[in-house]
Amino acid sequence: MIQVNSIIILMFALYLIFMLLIGVVFYFRTKNLSDYVLGGRQLGGWVTSMSAQASDMSGWLLMGLPGAAYLSGLSSAWIAFGLAIGTYLNWKVIAKRLRVYTEVAGDSLTIPDYFENRFKDNSKVLRIMSAVFIVIFFLFYTSSGFVAGAKLFSTVFGIPYSKALVIGSFVIVSYTFLGGFMAVCWTDFFQGIMMFIAVIMVPIIGIKTLGGWNATIGAISCTNPHLLNLFTNADGTSISLIGTISLLAWGLGYFGQPHILVRFMAIKSSKEIKKARIIAIVWVILSLTASVLIGMVGMMYLKTPLVGSDSEKVFMILIHKMFHPAVAGFLLSAALAAIMSTADSQLLVTASSITEDFYKVLFRKNASEKELVWISRLAVMIVAVIAYFLALDENSSVLQLVAYAWAGFGATFGPTIILSLFWNRITKNGALAGMISGGVTVIIWKALSGGIFELYEIVPGFIISIIAIVIVSLLDKEPNKEIQQEFETMISKL
């Protein structure tokens, strides 16, 4: 437990109240399902970029990555390289086409909705299959956010894990339930700013306290020179080729993350994307660099070594030791913001998928907009309850849960998203084959171990999915004229 005082408690309370107020404000502005699920496509460049990156990074930016850097040093930066490249390509290659195509293809609100409209799938099989994968993987993803939030509350305030889990889950569910997409995006906007300030401030102050950049690097080198080598682990062993590829491969996951892709769909105009891309890339590069530096500063600053999963507390402990309680309260709130900004997005995407892709398709085709909004809110509650029970084990590995879900989404949807936007020969059956083969490969690969199976499961899943899409599509009949005409319309609007 970190020694806490009334100022830190007050800062936390003010932050949580502010988040809830945003939810209440957008509760009264939400008029239909498009508003609740996609904000009526009214997001500007700043909110889109900050919301996308805040929902992307989650608590691992301030807990997981610094913890990895604390234990292994500079070699942990490989994952940052992969994510930075993936972020750039996602904004550069995918964002504009997806924004245009989802509007051209029946004003699609969700990724499953887009697949159905893109391929004119009257059987609804693409919508239902993609919704199944979304619900499965997001249950684990959301629970990882609940676990991280509970560990933060428990560490900072010294309360039991079970009570901390209830508090964190309640706040996240409350503003997502009330305000929907716009509440989530605006809270993510503010949370993204808080995360950025926190992740930049801590290493700067830490390095200054240690005597400057040269003194810090010199101290690390004297302690263990392997910590400054990109190609070795802390014990001096070389990072394997499989290990390097696995870390870089995190970047592939971006192309299939529904909670990130939906931000591209919601931006006010495709003309806003260039500005949003620049903001997002700058945010990501600076944040990831600073996150690695937090762990490396912690190596030298903390006298008592952190072992195993306790290394993920390095950010919180540094804040407590280096800052005034008022500043510490703000920065610790930023850590909570990092966790909440992803969990709320995951809740909303899962709920919208349940509403649009299960309830409306299978049970109430003629449901009113008001009814669908309330079903979405009910779905938020149901998903949150299941995720809560999955999060009850305080020994759960947040990083492993996130890595599994990230790979699942990346391999299931990534290749289909890319080829649906760039290849007019892709067919419905090809897309279905790609989704199933990608998702199933991730599940099977994860269950195996040793040798080649140490490779991050997103790599084989992504490759097999692409192969399946291409082979099945080429063996299938060409898409009809309506589909090809929509594809050309999308191209003409770029």
Return the pLDDT at 5.
61
Token duo for residue 56: 């992307």
Which pLDDT does position 365 carry in this prediction? 78
DSSP-assigned states of every residue in 120-180: T-TT-HHHHHHHHHHHHHHHHHHHHHHHHHHHHHHHHH---HHHHHHHHHHHHHHHHHHHH
Burial class (CB within 10 angstroms; exposed 0-12, middle 13-18, buried 19+) of 290: buried
Q: Are 14 and 336 in contact (CB under 8 A)?
A: no
What pLDDT score was predicted for residue 57? 61
| pLDDT tens sequence across 403-415 | 889 999 999 999 9
Q: Which CATH class is domain 6-395?
A: mainly alpha
Sign of the dihedral through C-alpha 171, 172, 174, 175: positive
Closest CA to 338 of 197, 204, 192, 174: 192
Tokens 């209830």 correspond to 166
Model pTM greater than 0.85? no
- What parts of the chain have a pLDDT lower than 70? 1-5, 19-20, 22-59, 172, 175-192, 268-270, 337-338, 340-342, 344-345, 397
Q: Where are the domains of the chain?
A: 6-395
433-452: pLDDT as tens digits: 999 999 999 999 998 888 89
| Dist. CA 226–CA 239, nearest whole Å | 11
